[in-house]
A and B are shown apart, each in its own frame.
Chain A
Amino acid sequence: MNGIELKNVSYKYPLTDFFALKDINFTFEKGKFYGIIGPNSGGKTSLCNLVRGLIPHFYQGDLSGDVLIEGKDVRNWDSNLLSTKIGYIFQNPFTQISGVKDTVLEEIALGLENLGIEKNEMIERIIEVVKLLKIEDLIKKNPNNLSGGQRQRVAFASIIAMNNDILVIDEPTSQLDPESTSDVFEIIDMLKEQGKTILLVEHKVDLIGEYSDEVLVMNNGQIVDNGTPMEVFSNKALLELDVAMPQVALLSHDMNRLDQPFEYITITKSQAKEQIVKRMGCVNGSN
């Protein structure tokens, strides 16, 4: 079933002459995890703004084509209703904190209060996300005094607690350490298992390769490639566009160049390990 359909979509921000998004045709299916990658200024955040309905409701600009969210054009959606349907976590952790709550617990509750959730359920959901994000030690702290990484986790917890059907997540791990980053990906994977549609913009392509169902590559406002991680990261042409690839995919491409190809382009560490072990087995066997 289709969640979000984009048909011939182009968009220019107000007072600009260039297209932030150009001729986008894509369908985001319900319950899938989409990784969105590409160089800076490629249109990734603009795509998020579009899917979230901030374009055209918040950013006016020049939008053409059809953006259908659950079959209804984004222009016809009440933007207030869209916020209850689509959760949005964006890059800057410092502006995602409301600034009006004294503790992290109350900060997480803010979205639930706005959704009119009853207190018992509110507490239940808060406990769940606090445990999930491993921020038990933060609940009594003032969100305005947290570090960037802590704020990012709190912002993430606040949106997850709202239990939206669709999640648009723009670089949620930019301020996180490797361990917390892995945790975030595991949580996103778990949300996918719960049937949520997830659009994740991320530069950490190794994890995108491992977790996402489909990858979209954006450059100059266009989708230059899309498909399963295997299909996308097997595309050598992307290297010329400066698109980041998982380390193990780069290793596979290098092996191809050396005329010592693996059986396939490896995307995950386990695949690379399997191929290397096989190769070493061959070498040892020949010896």
Chain B
Amino acid sequence: MSVSRLHLIQMEGELYMDYEYVFSFNKPQLTGNWFLDLNPLTKLNLVIAIAIFSIISKSWQVSVCIIILYFLIAAIAGKFYSFAKIYIKLGLLIGSLLFIMRAMFIPGKNTLFSFLVFNITQEGVNQGVWFSTLVVSLCGSLVLYSKVTRAKDLMFALEKLGAPHSATYIILSSLQSIIDLGERAKLIMDSQKARGIETEGTIFQRVKAFMPIMGPLLLGAISSTEEKAIAMDARAFSSPTKNTHMSELRQFPLWEKMMVLLINISLILFIIWRLI
């Protein structure tokens, strides 16, 4: 039976099959958002270019502008809330920590404040502002990329470029393992809680409750890895045949290629200008 004929058949009394969804795999699955629908490698190129720009410019003002740019891009991609939720927490934590460390320990001539062994100088504050905004902006590129690109799309794009199937699987599987480990840890913690063990309260109490589950958690992860390997073998993962793909990646339109070219040329010119 041909696929097109199957498409038309929805037998009476049969469970509802979303054929539209099934056949959506015949073409790239686009979201309708121009930024999200960019090729994963285009987006990767963009965030790497921005990160390099931030490093080369050596200016906290540029880093701040880039941080604002990330929020703008996230808003354009319709991911503002999920991006901001993680990025603000991460930025405040890493940024403040780095600023304090730099400001307190970098020596300088202009002392602003002195307390015990700590000597906060203008030079330290300047270094702290620059370094913390730089690192926060670099973190932003990673967070933004993870929010606007599905890992599987990136891996698929890399596979198309010739990356080994096994390598992309290992990366995707490792990312999923982190989620699985978190869920398993929660499950064990809930079991402990059901047995009357205190798992909430102060950080000390939480750590105390968490340490004993590390053993079963890791052993469970190791044993499930073995079964997962067998499961993947059952799916002919190492089959000598060249594999095909259910999904489609959107082709690079000319304007997208031009955009990547423009970004990269601009970056190279900027680097040359800074070096001269």
Residues of A in contact with B (beta carbons under 8 Å apart): 54, 58, 78-81, 83-84, 87-90, 92, 94-102, 105-106, 109-120, 122-124, 126-127, 130-131, 134, 136-137, 139-140, 144, 155, 158-159, 162
Report how far A84 CA is from B26 CA in the complex, Å. 25
Chain B contributes a number of interface residues (CB within 8 A of A) equal to 46
Q: Which of B26, B176, B227, B245 contacts A144 (CB 8 A)?
A: B176
Residues of B in contact with A (beta carbons under 8 Å apart): 1-3, 6, 14-19, 21-23, 25-26, 150, 152, 169, 172-173, 176-177, 179-180, 224, 227-247
Q: A101-B152, A144-B179 are in contact. Are A119 and B246 (CB under 8 A)?
A: yes
Q: A109-B246, A113-B246 are in contact. Are A123 and B227 (CB under 8 A)?
A: no
Q: A100-B176, A106-B247, A119-B246 are in contact. Are A126 and B22 (CB under 8 A)?
A: yes
Quick check: A110 and B235 within 8 Å, CB to CB? Answer: yes
Residue among B21, B150, B177 facing the most chain A CB atoms (10 A cut-off): B21
Report how far A54 CA is from B239 CA in the complex, Å. 15
What are the nearest 10 A-B pairs in CB distance? Answer: A95-B227, A116-B241, A99-B176, A109-B246, A111-B235, A100-B172, A136-B15, A80-B238, A114-B236, A88-B234
Quick check: B17 and A131 within 8 Å, CB to CB? Answer: yes
- Which residues of B sit under 8 angstroms from A134, Cβ to Cβ? 15
Residue among A84, A127, A137 facing the most chain B CB atoms (10 A cut-off): A127
Listed A/B pairs (15) with beta-carbon separation below 8 Å: A54-B233, A78-B240, A81-B240, A84-B239, A99-B177, A105-B246, A111-B236, A113-B246, A114-B241, A114-B243, A117-B244, A130-B17, A136-B15, A136-B17, A137-B15
Grouping DSSP codes into helix (H, G, I), strand (E, B) and loop, the A interface class, with mixed when no group exceeds half, is helix
Quick check: B237 and A114 within 8 Å, CB to CB? Answer: yes
State how many angstroms separate the Cβ of B176 from the closest Cβ of chain A: 4
Closest chain A residue, CB of each to CB of B171: A100
Residue among B14, B18, B244, B246 facing the most chain A CB atoms (10 A cut-off): B246
Quick check: B236 and A99 within 8 Å, CB to CB? Answer: no
- Which residues of A sit under 8 angstroms from B232, Cβ to Cβ? 98
Report how far A24 CA is from B21 CA in the complex, Å. 49
Quick check: A98 and B244 within 8 Å, CB to CB? Answer: no
